[in-house]
Amino acid sequence: MKIHIARWLTLISYAALVAAVVIWVMQLDQSRQLAMFLMGTVPLLPWVRGVLHGRLKPHVGLALTALLYLTHGSVEGFTNGTLLGWIEAAIALLLIISASMYVRWSAIAAQQ
C-alpha cells in the first residue's frame, strides 16, 4: 500500500513541478521565455517514460534531477523572496522524498 502511495505522490509532484516551472517561465519577459522554458523542462523529460512505467532507475534519476529544482527554488525564494520559488522548492523536496521512498520500498518488496 505504501508503495502505491509513494508512486502516486511521485507522479503528482512530477506534474506539479512541471507546472510550477511553466508558470515561473510565463512570468518572465517575452525575449527570454523560450530559452528558460527549454532550460526548465528539458531536464525533466528523459524520466517520463520510466516513471510512468514504474521502473526504479528513472525514479532515482528523477530524484537527483529534482535536486536542481530544489536548489533553484531555494535561491529564488531567498534572493527574490518570491512565493513561487518556495513552492518550487517544496514540490521538488516532495518529489525527492516520494521518489526515493518508492525506490526503497519497491526494492525491498522485490527482494522478499
Q: In this structure, which long-range contacts are made by residues 86-91, counting pairs with CB atoms below 8 Å and at least 24 apart in sequence?
A: 87/20, 88/17, 88/20, 88/21, 88/24, 91/13, 91/16, 91/17, 91/20
pLDDT of res. 29:
85
Could you give the CA distance from residue 9 to residue 110 in angstroms, rounded to a whole number? Answer: 20
- Domain spans of the chain? 2-111
Q: How far apart are CA 22 and CA 26, in angstroms?
A: 6
pLDDT of residue 40: 93
DSSP code of 43? G
pLDDT in tens, the chain (112 residues): 999 999 999 999 999 999 999 999 998 888 889 999 999 999 999 999 999 999 999 999 999 999 999 999 999 999 998 899 999 999 999 999 999 999 999 999 999 8
